[in-house]
Amino acid sequence: MKRDASPRPEDSSDATSALTSRAERKVATRGRVLDAAAETFAEREYSAVTVSEIARRAGVAHGLVFHHFGSKQGLYRAVLDRFVEDMDSAFAAGVGDDPGDAIRAGLRAHLCHVADHPALAQRLIAGGRSPDSDVREASQAGRDRALEMMAELVGVDVDDATVQFVGRTLIAAADEASLNWVRTGCRVPVDHLVEWLVEVGSAAIRGAAVLDPDLDVDTALAVVHTGRRPETGSTVV
């Protein structure tokens, strides 16, 4: 009698479990390497760090680092990209609130994330001036996404030339403030810094009318300060 070669349900289930376990181990290993790399790159400059050192710190074989990231440069870029994604997530945490509260919650979460990871934050925030193309690209990507989120919250067109000019300038100023805040030991209470950034941003929005008199700055200011759009004919001071 011929034996039935069709897979049994339990065999299929075992195979799926094995594949899931391998995928989970792969994700866990990648995360462990990223964590080790982030700690190591935060401690020393890129040129002083070796892949072997990161592998030892992560408790993985040297070849696994190359398997997951291709090269030391690829690993470094992955660390920077994950940090930008974490900052994006921190900023986006308050989007369920009204826009004014969401902006403040986002700024606060961003600043707290920077304070929790000062070395990498300083390297990334200063990245716009870095000779390293990966650092510059990761830094700019973070700024672009921050501008998109802010524009959506206040209800302005992110592609408008004046919005781009004022928004990029504001984000660069906020980054510089974050950098100085960390370098001086975060002495200013975070909530005070958040309100100062909101006031600086409001002044910049108000001044945008000088660049483009047709820009609806009153609506943007009302959203920032009250979470609501002004009634027709009202003026925001």
Tell whether the model's pLDDT for residue 14 goes beyond 70: no
pLDDT in tens, 202-219: 999 999 999 999 988 998
For Cα atoms 181, 182, 184, give the angle at the middle one, nearest 5 degrees: 70
pLDDT for res 101: 85
Residue 41 CA to residue 35 CA, distance in Å, equals 10
Average pLDDT over residues 148-160: 87
Q: Roughly what angle, to the nearest 10 degrees, separates helices 99-116 and 72-92?
A: 140
pLDDT for res 129: 53
Tell whether the model's pLDDT for residue 126 goes beyond 90: no
pLDDT mean across residues, the chain:
81
- For the entire predicted model, the pTM comes to 0.72
Residue 213 CA to residue 211 CA, distance in Å, equals 7
Q: Which residue has the higher pLDDT, 114 or 126?
A: 114
Cα torsion angle, 174, 122, 78, 107, sign: negative
Tell whether the model's pLDDT for residue 36 goes beyond 90: yes
pLDDT in tens, 38-47: 889 888 888 8
pLDDT band (50, 70, 90) for residue 194: very high
Residue 30 CA to residue 67 CA, distance in Å, equals 10
pLDDT in tens, 77-102: 888 888 878 877 777 765 556 788 88
Residue 14 CA to residue 77 CA, distance in Å, equals 37
pLDDT band (50, 70, 90) for residue 166: very high
Average pLDDT over residues 147-153: 85
Burial class of residue 123 (count of CB atoms within 10 Å of its CB; 0-12, 13-18, 19+): buried
Residue 110 CA to residue 102 CA, distance in Å, equals 12
DSSP string, 112-181: HHHHHSHHHHHHHHGGGG-S-HHHHHHHHHHHHHHHHHHHHHHT--TTSHHHHHHHHHHHHHHHHHHHHH
Residue 40 CA to residue 46 CA, distance in Å, equals 9
8-70 CATH: 1.10.10.60
pLDDT for res 96: 58
Encoded amino acid at 26, one letter: K
Portions of the chain given CATH number 1.10.10.60: 8-70
Portions of the chain given CATH number 1.10.357.10: 77-237
* CATH fold for the domain made of 77-237: Tetracycline Repressor; domain 2 (1.10.357)
pLDDT band (50, 70, 90) for residue 235: very low
